Amino acid sequence: MRLGLPRTRARLTAGVLMASSVAASAVLVGQHATPAQAATNETAVADRASAKPAADLAQMLGGATPTKAKAAAAKSGADLTALLGAAKPAPVKPGAARPAVDPAVLLGGATPAKPAPAKPAPAKPAAAKPAPKPAPAKPAAKPAPAKKSYPNNLDGWIAQARDILRAHGDKVPSAASIRARAMTESSGNPRAENHWDSNQALYGGTYGLIQTIKPTFAEWSLPGHKDILNPVDSIIAGVRYANDRYGSFETIAYGKQGY
């Protein structure tokens, strides 16, 4: 006769699991009871747990031989006894708080998983600083205008004196009129001196290209042009004096007498 062994084994496994649950409950109850109460509860739970699987095992193996049924019942009781023996709570001193027990740790034997450490957020790269703007290029300095040069002769002296008079805002006579007066007064000699007319007794003589007395030269010369024997300075003082005294230098430029 063939027994339904797969079904019998499944029922046997269910009985063992149920007995394990009863044992865990006994442990939890014992955690919150006095040592005497825990021992009483443990004995009662063990008796119920060992009796029920044995009865269920006998019923499930009703079609089996008595020898097999006794062996299964003995094995089930031994397993329950081992479970209860391993789950005995540690003695607790009176008045001390009992630590909480995680049922999952008692039943499964596994320790609770530790949470994984949080990964730090990646640091943001520092924003790049904008490159400094280049300083504007300074405009190149304009070269100083070349100084005008004049020939060192009568025409050059006349040209230079006319430019200075124009820059100062004076009335500028023609170059021909200045030449004519210079030839009459000194024959074009810038260092000429006259000590034989009436000006000698009154003013110490006349000097220079245009032959002026010293007081007249000092009054009508321009700043920076104070040398009575310099031909340019002599022209400047003589022209400015004649413009003021006669209204125009050209009025006396071509005369043969003194002015």
Residue type, 218: A
pLDDT average, residue stretch 125-153: 80
Q: CA–CA separation, 202 vs 82, rounded Å?
A: 157
Of 10-14, 38-42, 55-59, 178-182, the range with the highest mean pLDDT is 178-182
For the domain 154-253, what is the CATH code? 1.10.530.10
pLDDT at residue 142 above 90?
no
Predicted TM-score (pTM) of the model is 0.46
Q: What is the reported pLDDT for 134?
A: 78
Domain ranges of the chain: 8-90+100-108, 154-253
pLDDT at residue 54 above 70?
no
pLDDT average, residue stretch 5-10: 46
- Length in residues, the chain: 259
Q: What is the reported pLDDT for 140?
A: 76
Phi, psi of 48 (to 5 degrees): -65, -40
Q: What is the reported pLDDT for 138?
A: 77
- 170, 175, 176, 182: CA torsion to nearest 10: 80
